[in-house]
Amino acid sequence: TRTQVAIVGAGPAGLLLAHLLHRSGIESVVVDNRTYEQIAGTVRAGILEADSVRLLVDSGVSGRVLTDGYRHDGVVLRFDGVNHRIDFQELVGASVWLYPQTEVFIDLAGRRGVDGGDVRYGVADTAVEISGDRPTVTCTDSDGRAGRIEADLLVGADGSRSICRHAFPPGAREEWFREYPFAWFGFLTEAPRSHPELIYTRSEHGFALISQRTPTVQRMYFQCKPTERLADWDDDRIWAEMRRRVNGNGFVLREGPISAKSVLPFRSFVTAPMRYDRLLLAGDAAHTVPPTGAKGLNLALADAAVLAEVIVDYYAEGDADVLDRYTERVKERVWRAQHFCYWLTTMLHAVAGASPFDIERQRGELALITGSRYGAAYFAEAYTGWRQSRSV
């Protein structure tokens, strides 16, 4: 197959890019080693910034986020057993939408289908080659046939364990990396909402997050050890752990049967430049954030929007140097989000062996955010997403 842009990874970054390129008359082929059902069935992120919602709606992916999603005008930061609401609308005039990544995927995949896009799920043995005349992707299609895709450009939107990233020659990019001594244990529960909005909780027993999916299905997380084993956590033990972190002062979790348990990796990672020759990286392949703050999906969508524009310019100007604009245009957003996720993580998590000073300082930091209009506005602006048009 010959195409203009070969895209590895049919997650939000890869599929949105394919959609936006199609709208500009540029064709692409997308491959993913996961099946459609695997991608649609894996519980991932849940929060979209206003700009992400606008992007999905205005570019014609789907308006379903507006009808099936839930607008949230604030969140709660809970510490020392007390809820502190951050009012996004009042502070910065913005909202976020609770709309699961799995639904974003279904919308994007559906739109590609309607538009006749070439998206190949369930491929195996994917390999990329960028040293020849044109970048190529080889793989075994789901029907067992060998596939070979030759393209003008190759985009790695293949997640944090990207194979495309490893096609950069040694020394062609830098890496920035940070690990954390904890992870998140995530699960779904069949229960009514415990609260109208999300609650990010700091407790002496560690962090917990109460999120949602629908009126009858809730998503929750609690801080755990990176080595935690799912088999050691039955429903009773999970609820006992959640209760001791969040219940109190009249707040009581609504409990139910638990499913979709997983331990989420926790790290901060950036690589740059995000381009080498005709290979570009987008989304988690280029940068990973810890989940606190819900920025990963939003960054992936923002990357795709910028990359689509840069690729359009590349074809218009016929000059490969145009591709360098991509890293230049996205790196500030990436590092702001890196800082925000790191900051929120360190403010809300319990670290084994923390000194009494560190613990009190953490409380002071939370009080600065929740007890000050400016502190709260700083948080609200970051959480809802920095507006594209706002210059700093």
Residue 211 binds to ligand DHB (criterion: CB under 6 A):
yes
The angle, 0 to 180 degrees and rounded to 10, between the axes of the packed helices 296-317 and 50-58 is: 50
For the chain, first and last CA: distance in Å?
Answer: 45
Q: Is the previous residue joined to 273 through a cis bond, with omega within 30 degrees of 0?
A: yes
Among the listed residues 200, 221, 314, 326, the single catalytic one is 200
Gap between the Cα atoms of 325 and 169, Å rounded: 20
- The residue among 76 and 270 lying less far from ligand DHB, judged by its C-beta, is 76
Residues 8, 155 contacting (CB under 8 angstroms): yes
Among the listed residues 295, 314, 326, 349, the single catalytic one is 295
Residue 291 binds to ligand DHB (criterion: CB under 6 A):
yes
Gap between the Cα atoms of 341 and 333, Å rounded: 12
- The reply to whether 180 belongs to the active site is no
Stretch that binds ligand DHB, among 39-47, 126-134, 150-158, 305-313 (CB under 6 A): 39-47
Stretch that binds ligand DHB, among 43-51, 129-137, 249-257, 356-364 (CB under 6 A): 43-51
- The residue among 51 and 150 lying less far from ligand DHB, judged by its C-beta, is 51
Cα torsion 331, 173, 306, 69 to 10°: value is -80
Residues 156, 8 contacting (CB under 8 angstroms): yes
- The reply to whether 205 belongs to the active site is no
Q: Which residues of 112-134 are buried (b: 16+ CB within 10 A; e: fewer)?
A: beeeebebbbbbeebebebeeee
- The reply to whether 261 belongs to the active site is no
In the complex, minimum distance from the CB of residue 238 to ligand DHB, in angstroms, rounded to a whole number: 16
User: Looking at residue 141, what DSSP letter applies?
Assistant: -
Residue 268 binds to ligand DHB (criterion: CB under 6 A):
no
Stretch that binds ligand DHB, among 34-42, 56-64, 289-297, 332-340 (CB under 6 A): 289-297
With CB under 6 A as the contact rule, the residue among 294, 304, 369, 380 that binds ligand DHB is 294
- Angstrom CA distances, 285 to 160, 174, 297, 321, 344, stand at 5, 13, 12, 21, 22
Among the listed residues 12, 19, 22, 72, the single catalytic one is 72
Residue 46 binds to ligand DHB (criterion: CB under 6 A):
yes
Gap between the Cα atoms of 62 and 357, Å rounded: 49
- The residue among 315 and 378 lying less far from ligand DHB, judged by its C-beta, is 378
Residues 69, 57 contacting (CB under 8 angstroms): no
- The residue among 122 and 293 lying less far from ligand DHB, judged by its C-beta, is 293
Q: Between β-strands 74-79 and 199-202, what pairing exists: parallel, antiparallel or unpaired?
A: parallel
How many helices and strands, by DSSP H and E, does the chain display?
Answer: 11, 22
In the complex, minimum distance from the CB of residue 106 to ligand DHB, in angstroms, rounded to a whole number: 16
In the complex, minimum distance from the CB of residue 73 to ligand DHB, in angstroms, rounded to a whole number: 15
- The residue among 88 and 121 lying less far from ligand DHB, judged by its C-beta, is 88
- The reply to whether 331 belongs to the active site is no
Task: Give the number of residues written for the chain.
Answer: 392
- The residue among 211 and 223 lying less far from ligand DHB, judged by its C-beta, is 211
**Residue nearest ligand DHB, CB atom distance:** 46
Residues 244, 222 contacting (CB under 8 angstroms): no
- The reply to whether 99 belongs to the active site is no
Please state, as a whole number, how many other Cβ atoms lie within 10 Å of the Cβ of residue 190: 13
Total residues in contact with ligand DHB, by rule CB under 6 A? 11
In the complex, minimum distance from the CB of residue 60 to ligand DHB, in angstroms, rounded to a whole number: 26
Residue 349 binds to ligand DHB (criterion: CB under 6 A):
no
With CB under 6 A as the contact rule, the residue among 293, 333, 366, 385 that binds ligand DHB is 293
Q: Please give the residue ranges that form the binding site for ligand DHB (CB under 6 A).
A: 45-47, 198, 209, 211, 219, 291-294
- Catalytic positions, written as ranges: 72, 200, 291, 295, 383
